[in-house]
A = this chain, B = another copy of it.
């Protein structure tokens, strides 16, 4: 519930709880700090939770000009300095777009991150993922919430979830079509474009901190093979899969997602003499 200034823009962030360990959470592209609302009560029993809106997300500044992910990486580094506690440990969690930023921060500022969680994300915007982004941009340019919803939402859930949650999805479709203003779509388009050149395949091996990689077997946006590649490249990676789950794993399987996250945070530094 506060702002700080970075590169002449306002960054919106929230801090919840007072635990010793800090968990900074980086959003997926269509999310904002508000998306984590249902999970704060649980999380703050275990960690000091820091939520943040990237530029062009939620309550942070709109940039109005194109950029690449370097801008968001800078925002996160500044945020880390801003919320750091003297002795506290810092865990960085990113989902999807947020995972792309998180791995860049872990590569470039290894001293700032004690543990890393990469969920439903990829090390590389391959041509197919770029094409998915292009389709989302086309849909956004209609400025029509229902068109945008139909183009972007169905592939981010598993088939089973989609079928079981039709009513909830229908309510969200209505919310999208009412809430989103042209400047939201323009910001979204800039976010998509900023990820087009994402490629950390050759830098991932620099990450040495304990890292949890979460994948979902029905993730169509960043399929399991992306997380497999990430887990294979990071020497200290632990790899967990949520079955019968799509890309938006924390909404679709919150029990599994947060059990994995909190279980990892509690055991990240552990060593076993087997």
Residues of A that sit less than 8 Å from B by CB: 38-39, 42, 46, 126-129, 131-132, 134-135, 138-139, 142, 147, 150-151, 153-155, 157, 159, 162-163, 166, 168, 210, 212, 215, 217-218, 220, 223, 225, 228, 231, 238-244, 251, 253-256, 258-264, 266-267, 270, 272-274
Contacts and interface: CB of A to CB of B under 8 A. Distances in A.
Interface SS of chain A: helix
A242 B213 CA distance: 11
B131 A42 contact: no
A39 B271 CA distance: 9
B259 A267 contact: yes
Contact of A150 (B131, B228, B231, B259): B131
Given A238-B253, A273-B38, A151 B138 contact: yes
B261 A42 contact: no
A142 B260 CA distance: 43
A230 to B, nearest CB: 12
